[in-house]
Amino acid sequence: MQPITIEHLPQQGRFQAIVDGRLCVCDYRLDGSVMIFTHTEVAPQLEGQGIAAALVRAALAYAESAGYKVRPLCSYVRGYMRRHPETLVLQA
């Protein structure tokens, strides 16, 4: 697999990557100083390649660098944070 290029589109509240011509996303909205993660999606054909994890890792890194707390409404983001306890300090 090629390296994943992740793009942050703050005006859309989205981190995205185009992989094999398919759009993969991690969506959020801001509520003051809290980044609320609402949805993560990777095409079924691309699952298991670490794309969702890469998107969430980039989004959480952004939240940390911007000083945001995180509210993971998305089940994938919640699971990612449980698997990576170092990210739990970001939780609102």
Instruction: Dump pLDDT digits (tens) for 44-85.
Output: 999 999 999 999 999 999 999 999 999 999 999 999 999 999
Q: What is the pTM assigned to this prediction?
A: 0.94
For 9, half-sphere exposure in the C-beta direction (CA atoms, 13 angstrom radius) is 11
- Name the nearest CA neighbour of 36 among 7, 14, 9, 6: 14
Read off φ and ψ for residue 83, nearest 5 degrees.
Answer: -75, -20
User: Taking a C-beta distance cutoff of 8 angstroms, is the pair 74, 67 a contact?
Assistant: no
